[in-house]
Amino acid sequence: MKAILLREIKSFFGSPMGYLVIAIFLLLNGLFLWVFDGDFNILNSGYADLSPFFTLAPWILIFLIPAVTMRSFSDEKKQGTLELLLTKPLSIWQIVNGKFLGAMLLIVIAIIPTLIYIYVLWGLGQPVGNIDLGSTIGSYFGLLFLIAGYSSIGIFTSTLSDNQIVAFIISVFLCFFFYFGFDGLAIYLKSIDSLVSSLGMQDHFKSMGRGVLDTRDILYFVSITILFLSFTVFKLKSFKS
């Protein structure tokens, strides 16, 4: 698994892809949070609060993570190296986990520089340091679990086609549905709206943003991640057999 992980990281940073993903994520967040006027601008809000970032980030990641994961297995299929990869002395789970962790690590590296926002808001608070660290830390943990969920979906969809664009589109759709779709359905199913909302990622992500790491939220994201990684393994086994 370590060999696959290192291979993925080298692949990302051996081409413009890795640097481009990090640059786009930081640039879009920086512009919307600090430059452009609008609902996401922290300076205009008058509050030393990172909630605009945690509202915006899931939207950006819905497109960014599929762009990273779309090549994971679709590229292997297109180049005809998937069969060779599956014959290596590694279990399919090790191969899948290596690619999953590689993609997730790249996005985490893109997230790390945003920690400077906490320092900036700490200084801007009145009085200095007037920032809700509990909810901020909880939201960062929620973001990590969200990245894991999105990445597992992206890894799975990359097995569905040897066309990276097709894998990207399917991944964006599934990530969008699992984050926003259930809340949309809840509007029309008012008798069970809370139950339907709890099936979506947004409900659990927002729950973590309150600063309380509920085991139900953690189990939800872990379950979603394992579910889609299991789908990936099942799909790859069909290629092997």
Say what the pTM is: 0.93
**pLDDT number for residue 240:** 66
**pLDDT number for residue 193:** 81
Q: Which domain range does residue 130 map to? A: 2-240
Helix (H) or strand (E) holding 18, with range, is: helix 16-30
Which burial class, exposed, middle or buried, applies to 115 when counting CB atoms under 10 A from its CB (0-12, 13-18, 19+)? Answer: exposed
**pLDDT averaged per 10 residues in sequence order, the chain, 241 residues:** 82 85 92 88 80 92 94 85 80 92 93 92 76 87 96 95 93 95 84 87 91 89 97 87 60
**pLDDT number for residue 131:** 79
Query: Using CA atoms, how far apart are residues 41 and 32, in angstroms rounded to an integer?
Result: 6
Q: Are 131 and 122 in contact (CB under 8 A)?
A: yes
Q: Are 7 and 94 in contact (CB under 8 A)?
A: no
* CA atoms within a 13 Å half-sphere pointing along the CA-CB vector of 228: 23
Query: Using CA atoms, how far apart are residues 101 and 152, in angstroms rounded to an integer?
Result: 9
**pLDDT number for residue 200:** 93
Number of compact structural domains in the chain: 1
Count CB neighbours of 230 within 10 A. 14
Count CB neighbours of 183 within 10 A. 17
